[in-house]
Amino acid sequence: MSEVLFNSDGAPAMAFGNGFRLSTVGSGSGKKQEEVKPVRTSEKNENKVTVDKFNVWSWGESNDYPTTADGLIEKTGVLRSALKYRMNLTLGSGIYPVTVESYTENGAEQLKVSDDVEIKKLVKSRMARRYMQGVMRDKLRLGTAFPELIMNETGDKIAAIHAINAKYVRLCEKEKGIIKTAIVSGNWPDKPEAGNYEVVDVLDPFDPLADLMARKLAGKTAKKKFIYPLFDPISNNEYYTTPDWDTARQAGWIDIANQVPKFLTSMYSNQMTIKYHVRIPYAYWDKKFPKGNYKTTELREAAITAFLDKIEARLCDTENARKAIFTMFEVNNQGKAEEKWDIEVLDDKFTNEQQLVTSASANTEILFSVLVNPAVVGSMPSGGGPYQTQSGGSNIREAFLVNLALAWLDRQDILDPLELMINFNFGEQSDIELRFKNVFLTTLDTGGGTGQNLG
């Protein structure tokens, strides 16, 4: 059904159908749309917040970087999935206590799994698993993690280990170049009031075990808690290190990745797809529908609307596809055409292919920022170019193995507090080391699809 807009003389000025737009030549007006200028705001960067007697170093310009980061991650699917992939790959298939028996000629370690019941119970416990998950979560999402060691009543053993949710921790200003204290509160980024925060000592990152042993000898460990901070070694920030993916945020790729689906959703909800533009002179309507043939203007308008519906059906109905439409016109004494229809086929200048390419590029750049090869997650953009990847499984397997080889430093970071706990609690077992159990992807000609080893 056509929607017809009539002018004051009863002639159709413009009509819209399902697939065409019609206008009467000589009518219409346009109004320039006023430019809407964005409002720019600025906030003062406060580096410190005073809580009681402590000068606390802000995390981000407004002390809300963890909250902002969480919001970006949760609404950016490719980033969230990439971080989870990195976490799962780093944690592997669990950890085992081992001793290094010897080395092969090529430098490979000869490992022996420890048979110490208490240590095996610790490393396979739910507490250790949840600790490692929490540390990897915060290191990948926020760049900084805060393992917490909880001492027993007498202070001679570490009773528990866990990862404090990093967004609830703020570090106090250094004293003589060393961070000695942290403030833990669920109120951050807002300044916590009295009674809504906990003060926790921070171990010296240079040698945390020696620091803890010295506190034990001084009788300062009973019922205490200690934070063993872990920082991203690639960053030079002194208090909080930024995560790898933050480079994609600063470059604008995360904004692009989030804007493309919004743009497409808006387009599909509000798009106006017009196939034909039919231009008809006013003279045609005067001859086709003379005003004297109709008792009222409404009857004439109804007849014109019904006529336009027939034209729309001829142009757009699937049963009439590829059929012709004939129009007749006269030539006046000056040799100019009168009543001539112009039917213009409109090209759809907008397609979503360009936006999908942009989205694929943004997703790939985000994956690059967290050291994830797009092939691992099945990203294989078509059409060649710098983001084209190979087909098949070899590139996936190779990318997985590269990620596994690069996971050593992250693994050692999260194992250090656990190994400190073992060395503190089981001094005679100081030769015990922790290793991850890896799953390797292999080819079928090796006799199986996966292989396992300790490393």
Question: What six digits make up the tokens of 95?
Answer: 């950890």
d(CA 144, CA 295): 82
pLDDT at 37: 46
Q: Are residues 240 and 163 in the same domain?
A: yes
Domain assignment of residue 386, yes or no: no
DSSP, collapsed to helix, strand or coil, labels residue 73 as helix
Q: Are residues 149 and 282 in the same domain?
A: no
The domain boundary, picked from 303, 322, 345, lies at 345
Q: Are residues 63 and 210 in the same domain?
A: yes
Domain assignment of residue 169, yes or no: yes
pLDDT digits (tens, 9 = 90+) for 45-78: 458 899 988 999 999 888 999 999 999 999 998 9
Q: Are residues 227 and 148 in the same domain?
A: yes
Residues 325-333: what's their mean pLDDT? 72
Domain assignment of residue 104, yes or no: yes
Contacts of 52 (CB under 8 A, 6+ apart): 194
User: What average pLDDT is seen over the chain?
Assistant: 80
Model confidence band, residue 439 (pLDDT cutoffs 50, 70, 90): low
Pairing of strands 230-231, 144-151: antiparallel
Q: Are residues 56 and 131 in the same domain?
A: yes
Nearest to 413 by CA among 116, 146, 130, 89: 146
Instruction: For 156, list phi and psi in degrees, rounded to 5.
Output: -100, -5
pLDDT at 223: 94
DSSP, collapsed to helix, strand or coil, labels residue 94 as coil
Q: Are residues 143 and 216 in the same domain?
A: yes
Domain assignment of residue 351, yes or no: no
Regarding pTM above 0.75, the answer is: no
Q: Are residues 161 and 305 in the same domain?
A: no
Segment (H or E) for 97: strand 95-103
Domain assignment of residue 158, yes or no: yes
pLDDT at 317: 63
Q: Are residues 23 and 103 in the same domain?
A: no
Structural domain boundaries enclosing 75: 48-245+406-454
Model confidence band, residue 343 (pLDDT cutoffs 50, 70, 90): confident
Q: Are residues 107 and 197 in the same domain?
A: yes
pLDDT at 15: 66
Asked if pLDDT for residue 430 goes beyond 60, the answer is yes
Domain assignment of residue 60, yes or no: yes
d(CA 32, CA 449): 65
H helical segments located in 231-352: 246-251, 253-270, 282-288, 297-316
Q: Are residues 209 and 306 in the same domain?
A: no
Q: Which residues of 17-52 are buried (b: 16+ CB within 10 A; e: fewer)?
A: beebbbbbeeeeeeeeeeeeeeeeeeeeeeeebebe
pLDDT digits (tens, 9 = 90+) for 6-29: 666 666 766 666 555 566 665 444
CB atoms within 10 A of CB 373: 18
pLDDT digits (tens, 9 = 90+) for 303-322: 988 988 887 777 666 666 66
Domain assignment of residue 354, yes or no: no
Q: Are residues 12 and 74 in the same domain?
A: no
Asked if pLDDT for residue 36 goes beyond 50, the answer is no
The domain boundary, picked from 345, 368, 390, lies at 345
Q: Are residues 321 and 412 in the same domain?
A: no
Domain assignment of residue 372, yes or no: no
Asked if pLDDT for residue 371 goes beyond 60, the answer is yes
Segment (H or E) for 345: strand 342-345
Count of structural domains, the chain: 2
